[in-house]
C-alpha cells in the first residue's frame, strides 16, 4: 500500500470556493476599458452564391465602429488544418453556420441592430446533406475548387491479411452502424476578447484548450494581416466547460482580432445559447460498416471497418478522428488482422470538432455492439468472449501500441460481479457490457507531445507552478498541486497552479487525449524533483544529515526518529536564501513522453500507456413505449493510480452521463442543413432527473510511466456507454439498435418489426 500523504487523497478542487462564491471570472465577465462588442452574421442558406452585400446602413448606425465582410479578411487568413475555412466567407456560403459579416459596436444591442441592417443578396444553390449521396458523381460540389466532395486524407490501413482471416473464420458478423451529431453544450458559451497594444502586439482572452497552439494560429493570423514579428499573448479566463470544443481556433477568435485591429479598441464576442448550438462544432458523426470474425473457440481473427464521415462544409478536427478511431479498431482486444478505411465527405451540413473521446465513442459503438453479435453467433457468453480476447500487459498491438499496464481483466471481473448481483430474469430487463481502450500516457499527434512546468518556491514554503496545461474544470490544478506537494513534503493548499497566460506559462500541445494528468503531471513532477534535490541539499547542510536520510512531509524536513534534526521547510528556505551566496528556488522541466508519432502506415506507439475500462449496465425496456430505463450502471476503469479519487469520480460520472445522453437522447436535429433544435428544451441532454446511480470501481495497476503511477481518465467515461446500453437492450428484449441515439421510437419500431 502507498504511504502517500497528498496523492491519493480526496482533496476538494482548489478553486471550488471561488466558484461557489460566484467570484470566478469567465469570458462573459471580462470587461475592459473602451471595450466594444462584436457580433457575427450567419448565412441564410445552406448553399448559395453571395451576389451582393450592402453594409452601408449598418456602418451608418450610431455606435457602430466597424463592419467586416469576406473581402476584409486577408487572403492568407484561413483556419483549420485543411485550410478551407476563412473566418468570414466570401463569394459563396456552404452551410447555415457560415459567417458572412461581422460588426463591432458600443453595445451588444447596437451590434445586433447593425446586423439586421446588413442586406445580402443570395442566389440559392442546390445543397447536399447526405455524405453517401455527396460521394456520387452527380452530386452538387460543396467547394468547386476542390473538384470532389471527398477530402484528400490518408485514412487507410491494413495489418495482416483480412481476406485470408475471413476465409478461415468459423463465425462472421457484418453490419452497419451510425452515430449522429451531438454537441458539447458547455454551460459557459464561447467567446473571446481581443486587443492590440500600441505596437500591434495582440492579447486575446479565450476559452482555449490549446493556448500554445492557439498562440501559433494567432501569430499566423497576424502575419496574414501584414503584422510580422509581433507578439501574441493568450490568456485563459476561468473556462466554463470545454470537452474538446476548444481544441481548434475558431472564426469568432479571428473575427475579434480583425475587429480589434480595425477599431483600435478591445473587442469582445460572446455567443448566446442559440449561436452556441448553431455556430460551434459538433462531435463527428459516422456511418460505420463493420465485419468481424472469430474461430470456433472464440478467438478474434479479423476486424474490417469502412467509415463514411460527414465532414460538413468546412474542416476542423472531425476529419482527423479516424486517426484516433484506429486505436480501438486495431487495439481493443487482441486481433491480428485489421483493415480500416475512412472517407471524409463534404456536405452542406455543420462540421465537427474534437469532442470527448475524439472518435473513440463512435468506433467503440460499432466494435462493441458487433462483438456481442459475434459472441452470440459463436454461442459464447459476451463477457467470456471478451475475456478470451482481452489485451494483456506486454502485448504489442497491430498498430504497435505497447501495452504496459492493463487492468482489462480486473475491470471485466468487477463489472461482472456487480451486474450479476441481483440476477433476476425479469421481463424486459437485460444487462450489457462494453470495454474501452484509450490513450492514457499522452498522445503524440503533433511534433511534440510535451508540456513544460516551471516551479518557483518562495521564502514561506509556498509554491507557484507555472504549467502549460489547462484546467477547464476537470481538475488539472489539483492534480498538479497534489503531485508537487507530495514530492516536496507540502500540502496541496501550499501550491498555486498558474496555467492562464502564455507570457508566463511554458509550452504544451493541449488539454486533449486525457493527457493532462500524465504529461502535465509528469512535467510538474520533473520540476519538483529538481527542487526536492535542492531542498535536500540545503537540509543536509543545515541539519547536518545525509540527504538520503532526510524526509519531506507535512511541511517539515526531518530525519525520521531524530527529533533534533527537524525543521519547518519554510524556515530552511529563509535560512538558505538570506545568507551569503544565497540562492532562490526555481526549477523548470519539459516533459515530452517517449511515445511515437504514427508512421505512414499509422503504426507507432502513440501513447506511453493505455487506459482500459469496462462499463456494465442493467436496463429495463418498456416494450409498449420503447422507453429504456437505466437501472444500474457500473463503470470500472484501470487508471494506474488515482491521484485524487474525488475528482476522478467526477470525471467518470460526468463522462458516463454525457455518454448516456449520447446513447439515448442527444441529437442535433438537422433538416436540409439547418439545425432545428438549437436550445436546451429540444436538445435533450440529461437533466438532474435523468441522472442514474453510477458505481465507479477504480482499478489501480500503478503504471511506471505515469506520475505516481497515474494514467488518464478524462475521456474514458463516455467511450463505451452506447454499446453497453445497446447490448443490454438486446439482452432485455432481443432488438439491436444500430443508429444512435437509441430513442423510444427506434426501440418500439424494432420490437414491432420483430413481431
Partner 1 sequence: MKPFKYLSPTTVEEAIAFHVRHSQTSKYIGGGTDVIVKVKGGFLEPDYLISLKKIEALSELHKNEATGELSIGAMVTHATLEKSLMIQKEYPIIYDAVSNIGSLQVRNMGTIGGNLINAVPSADGAIPLIALDGVALLHGPDGERSVEVKDLFIEPYKTILKSGEILKKITIQPQAPHTGSAYIKFGRRAAMELPLIGIGVLLTVNDDLVTCAKARICLGVAAPTPMRALDAEIFLVGKKIDEKTLIEAGKIAADESKVRDSVRGRAWHRKEMIRVQVRRMGLKCLQMIRNNG
Partner 2 sequence: MTTKISFLLNGDKISYTVKDHWTLLHLLREKMGLIGTKEGCGNGECGACTVIVDKLAINSCLYLAVEADGKTIETIEGLASTDGTLHPIQQSFVDNGGIQCGFCTPGMIMSSKALLDENPKANLEEIKHALAGNICRCTGYIQIFESVEAAKEPVVENKGGQNE
**Interaction of residue 8 with partner 2, rule CB under 8 A:** no
Minimum distance between the CB of residue 28 and partner 2, rounded to whole angstroms? 7
Residue located via cell numbers 418498456: 622
The residue within the footprint of partner 1, chosen from 669, 693, 704, 734 (CB under 8 A), is: 669
Distance CA 483, CA 662 (A): 34
> According to CB under 8 A, which residues from 343 to 362 bind partner 2?
none
Select from 51, 60, 187, 584 the one that contacts partner 2 (CB under 8 A): 187
Interaction between residue 25 and partner 2 (CB under 8 A): yes
Number of Cα atoms under 13 Å in the Cβ half of residue 28:
12
Between CA 450 and CA 711 the distance in angstroms is 16
Q: Which is nearer to partner 1, 117 or 749 (CB)?
A: 749
Taking the complex as a whole, the smallest distance from the CB of residue 113 to partner 1 amounts, in Å, to 10
**Cis bond upstream, residue 741 (ω within 30):** yes
Residues 6 or more apart in contact with residue 567 via CB below 8 angstroms: 539, 542, 543, 556, 557, 558
- Assess 682 for contact with partner 1 (CB under 8 A): yes
Q: How far is CA 456 from the centre of its chain?
A: 30
253 binds partner 2 (CB under 8 A): no
Q: Does 186 bind partner 2 (CB under 8 A)?
A: yes
Q: Could you give the string, one character per residue 672-711, with x where binding to partner 2 holds by CB under 8 A and - elsewhere?
A: -------xxx---xxxxx-x-xx-----------------
CA distance 342 to 289: 10
The reply to whether 681 sits near partner 1 by the rule CB under 8 A is yes
31: CB partners within 8 A, 6+ apart: none
Rounded (5°) CA angle 192-20-695: 100
Work out which of 16, 20, 60, 676 binds partner 1, going by CB under 8 A: 676
The cell numbers describing 668, all together, are: 442535433
Q: Which of partner 2, partner 1, none does residue 665 bind (CB under 5 to 8 Å by kind)?
A: partner 1
322 binds partner 2 (CB under 8 A): no
One of 137, 624, 753, 755 touching partner 1 (CB under 8 A): 624
Distance of closest approach, residue 538 Cβ to partner 1, in angstroms: 58
Asked whether position 712 contacts partner 2 by CB under 8 A, the answer is no
End-to-end alpha carbon distance in the chain: 56
Residue number, 18 or 579, with CB nearest to partner 2: 18
Binding mask 632-671 for partner 2 (x = CB under 8 A): --------------xx-xx--xxxxxx-------------
Regarding 684 and contact with partner 1 (CB under 8 A), the answer is: yes
Report how many residues bind partner 1 under the rule CB under 8 A: 22
Do strands 119-124 and 300-312 pair parallel, antiparallel, or not at all (unpaired)? unpaired
Q: Does 680 bind partner 1 (CB under 8 A)?
A: yes
Question: Does 107 interact with partner 1 (rule: CB under 8 A)?
Answer: no
Triad 478, 205, 250: Cα angle to 5°: 105
Counting Cα atoms < 13 Å in the Cβ hemisphere of 295 gives: 11
* DSSP H stretches of helix in 242-381: 251-263, 273-279, 321-331, 360-378
Q: Which partner from the list partner 1, partner 2, none does 330 bind, CB cut-off 5 to 8 Å by kind?
A: none
What is the rounded CA–CA span in Å between residue 577 and residue 554?
21
Residues 425 and 732: their CA atoms lie apart, in Å, by 9
Largest CA distance in the chain: 90
φ/ψ (deg, to 5) at 588: -130, 155
Q: Which grid cell is 265?
A: 479598441
User: Binding to partner 2 by residue 243, rule CB under 8 A?
Assistant: yes
CB of 725 to partner 2, least distance (A): 15
Q: Are 521 and 706 in contact (CB under 8 A)?
A: yes
By beta-carbon proximity to partner 2, the closer residue of 192 and 378 is: 192
User: Binding partner of residue 704 among partner 2, partner 1, none, CB under 5 to 8 Å per kind?
Assistant: none
CA torsion sign, 706 to 642 to 471 to 445? positive
Instruction: Find all residues with CB under 8 Å of 522, minimum gap 6, and list them.
Output: 451, 591, 593, 706, 707
Taking CB under 8 A as the criterion, the residue among 582, 625, 704, 734 binding partner 1 is: 625
Q: Which of 152, 689, 754, 755 binds partner 1 (CB under 8 A)?
A: 689
Convert residues 711-750 into a mask of x (bound to partner 1 by CB under 8 A) and - (unbound): --------------------------------xxx--xx-
Strand segments, DSSP code E, in 117-161 are 119-124, 156-159
Q: Looking only at residues 446 through 485 of this chain, which bind partner 2 when binding is defined by CB under 8 A?
A: 472-475
In the complex, the residues that contact partner 1 under the rule CB under 8 A are 624-626, 664-665, 669, 676-677, 680-682, 684, 686-690, 743-745, 748-749
In the complex, the residues that contact partner 2 under the rule CB under 8 A are 12-13, 15-26, 28-29, 184-189, 238-243, 272-273, 472-475, 646-647, 649-650, 653-658, 679-681, 685-689, 691, 693-694
Amino acid at each position: 500500500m502507498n504511504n502517500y500523504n497528498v496523492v491519493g487523497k480526496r482533496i476538494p478542487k482548489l478553486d471550488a470556493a471561488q466558484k461557489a462564491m460566484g467570484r470566478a471570472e469567465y469570458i462573459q465577465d471580462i470587461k475592459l476599458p473602451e471595450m466594444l462588442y462584436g457580433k457575427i452574421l450567419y448565412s441564410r442558406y445552406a448553399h448559395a452564391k453571395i451576389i451582393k452585400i450592402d453594409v452601408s446602413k449598418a456602418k451608418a448606425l450610431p455606435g457602430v465602429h466597424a463592419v467586416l465582410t469576406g473581402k476584409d479578411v486577408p487572403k492568407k487568413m484561413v483556419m483549420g488544418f485543411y485550410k478551407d475555412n476563412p473566418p468570414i466567407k466570401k463569394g459563396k456560403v456552404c452551410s447555415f453556420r457560415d459567417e458572412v459579416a461581422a460588426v463591432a459596436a458600443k453595445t451588444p444591442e447596437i451590434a445586433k441592430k447593425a446586423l439586421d441592417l446588413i442586406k445580402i443578396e443570395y442566389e440559392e444553390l442546390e445543397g447536399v446533406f447526405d455524405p453517401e449521396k455527396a460521394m456520387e458523381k452527380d452530386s452538387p460540389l460543396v467547394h468547386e475548387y476542390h473538384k470532389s466532395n471527398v477530402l484528400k486524407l490518408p485514412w487507410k490501413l491494413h495489418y495482416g491479411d483480412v481476406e485470408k482471416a475471413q476465409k478461415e473464420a468459423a463465425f462472421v458478423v457484418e453490419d452497419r452502424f451510425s452515430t449522429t451529431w451531438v454537441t458539447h453544450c458547455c454551460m459557459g458559451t464561447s467567446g473571446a476578447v481581443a486587443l492590440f497594444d500600441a505596437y500591434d502586439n495582440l492579447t486575446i482572452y479565450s476559452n482555449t484548450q490549446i493556448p500554445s497552439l492557439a498562440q501559433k494560429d494567432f501569430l499566423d493570423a497576424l502575419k496574414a494581416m501584414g503584422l510580422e514579428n509581433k507578439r501574441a499573448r493568450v490568456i485563459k479566463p476561468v473556462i466554463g466547460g470545454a470537452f474538446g470544443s476548444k481544441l481548434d481556433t475558431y472564426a469568432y477568435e479571428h473575427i475579434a482580432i480583425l475587429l480589434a485591429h480595425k477599431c483600435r479598441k478591445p473587442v469582445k464576442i460572446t455567443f448566446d445559447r442559440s449561436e452556441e448550438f448553431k455556430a460551434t462544432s459538433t462531435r463527428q458523426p459516422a456511418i460505420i460498416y463493420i465485419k468481424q470474425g472469430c474461430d470456433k473457440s472464440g478467438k478474434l481473427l479479423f476486424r474490417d471497418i469502412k467509415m463514411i464521415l460527414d465532414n460538413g462544409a468546412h474542416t476542423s478536427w472531425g476529419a482527423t478522428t479516424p486517426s484516433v478511431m484506429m486505436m480501438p479498431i486495431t487495439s481493443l482486444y487482441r486481433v491480428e488482422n485489421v483493415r480500416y478505411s475512412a472517407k471524409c465527405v463534404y456536405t452542406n451540413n455543420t462540421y465537427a470538432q474534437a469532442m470527448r473521446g475524439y472518435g473513440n465513442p463512435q468506433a467503440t459503438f460499432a466494435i462493441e455492439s458487433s462483438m456481442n453479435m459475434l459472441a452470440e453467433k459463436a454461442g459464447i457468453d459476451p463477457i467470456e468472449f471478451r475475456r478470451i480476447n482481452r489485451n494483456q500487459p506486454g502485448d504489442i498491438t497491430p498498430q504497435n501500441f505497447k501495452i504496459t499496464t492493463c487492468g482489462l481483466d480486473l475491470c471485466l471481473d468487477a463489472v461482472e460481479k456487480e451486474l450479476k448481483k441481483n440476477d433476476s430474469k425479469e421481463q424486459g430487463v437485460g444487462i450489457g457490457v462494453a470495454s474501452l481502450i484509450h490513450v492514457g500516457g499522452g498522445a503524440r499527434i503533433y511534433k511534440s507531445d510535451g508540456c513544460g512546468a516551471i516551479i518557483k518556491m518562495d521564502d514561506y514554503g509556498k509554491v507557484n507552478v507555472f504549467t502549460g496545461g489547462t484546467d477547464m474544470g476537470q481538475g488539472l490544478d489539483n492534480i498538479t498541486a497534489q503531485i508537487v506537494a507530495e514530492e516536496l513534503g507540502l500540502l496541496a493548499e501550499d501550491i498555486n497552479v498558474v496555467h492562464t497566460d502564455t507570457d508566463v506559462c511554458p509550452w504544451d500541445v493541449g488539454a486533449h487525449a486525457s493527457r493532462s494528468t500524465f504529461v502535465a503531471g509528469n512535467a510538474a513532477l520533473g520540476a519538483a524533483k529538481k527542487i526536492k534535490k535542492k531542498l535536500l541539499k540545503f537540509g543536509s547542510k543545515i541539519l547536518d544529515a545525509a540527504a538520503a536520510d532526510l524526509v519531506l512531509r507535512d511541511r517539515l524536513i526531518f530525519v525520521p526518529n531524530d527529533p533534533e534534526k527537524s525543521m519547518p521547510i519554510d524556515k530552511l528556505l529563509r535560512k538558505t536564501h538570506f545568507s551569503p551566496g544565497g540562492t532562490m528556488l526555481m526549477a523548470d522541466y519539459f516533459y515530452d513522453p517517449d511515445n511515437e508519432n504514427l508512421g505512414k502506415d499509422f503504426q507507432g506507439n502513440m501513447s506511453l500507456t493505455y487506459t482500459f475500462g469496462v462499463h456494465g449496465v442493467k436496463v429495463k425496456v418498456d416494450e409498449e413505449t420503447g422507453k429504456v430505463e437505466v437501472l444500474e450502471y457500473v463503470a470500472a476503469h484501470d487508471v494506474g493510480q488515482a491521484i485524487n479519487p474525488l475528482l476522478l469520480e467526477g470525471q467518470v460520472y460526468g463522462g458516463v452521463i454525457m455518454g448516456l445522453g449520447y446513447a439515448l437522447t442527444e441529437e442535433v436535429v438537422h433538416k436540409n442543413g439547418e439545425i432545428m433544435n438549437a436550445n436546451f428544451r429540444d436538445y435533450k441532454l440529461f437533466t438532474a432527473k435523468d441522472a442514474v446511480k453510477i458505481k465507479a470501481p477504480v482499478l489501480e495497476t500503478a503504471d511506471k510511466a505515469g506520475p505516481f503511477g497515474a494514467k488518464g481518465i478524462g475521456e474514458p467515461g463516455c467511450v463505451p456507454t452506447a454499446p453497453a446500453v445497446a447490448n443490454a437492450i438486446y439482452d432485455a428484449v432481443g432488438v439491436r439498435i444500430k443508429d444512435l441515439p437509441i430513442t423510444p421510437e427506434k426501440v418500439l419500431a424494432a420490437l414491432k418489426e420483430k413481431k
